[in-house]
Amino acid sequence: MPSRILALIVVVLVGHSTGGLISRLYASTHPKEVAGLVLVDAIPEGVQAAMTAEQWKTYDRLLLVAPPKELAG
């Protein structure tokens, strides 16, 4: 008789900044796979809608791009 293995993986997600937004969205999409959620200075979903076009342009330029090579380590 073949044996069956049931693999159940449940995780605790930790997200910082943009990773917090992604972690929260994952947790809300897959709640049975997430045992816990730790958010550190997470970006809220509506951040772009709350900003003017000029603010978003600055935010995008400063925070959502690769760091300068001097800071990348």
Structural domain for 28, as ranges: 11-66
Residue 9 banded pLDDT, cuts 50, 70, 90? confident
37 inside domain: yes
6 inside domain: no
59 inside domain: yes
In total, how many domains does the chain have? 1
pLDDT at 15: 93
5 inside domain: no
The residue written with tokens 């509506």 in the block is: 46
Spatial neighbors of 69 by CB under 8 A, at least 6 apart, are none
Count helices and strands in the chain by DSSP H and E runs: 3, 2
More confident residue, 70 or 51: 51
* 6 has pLDDT over 90: no
Q: What is the pLDDT of residues 14-41, one digit of tens each?
A: 999 888 988 999 999 999 999 999 999 8
Whether this model's pTM surpasses 0.75: no
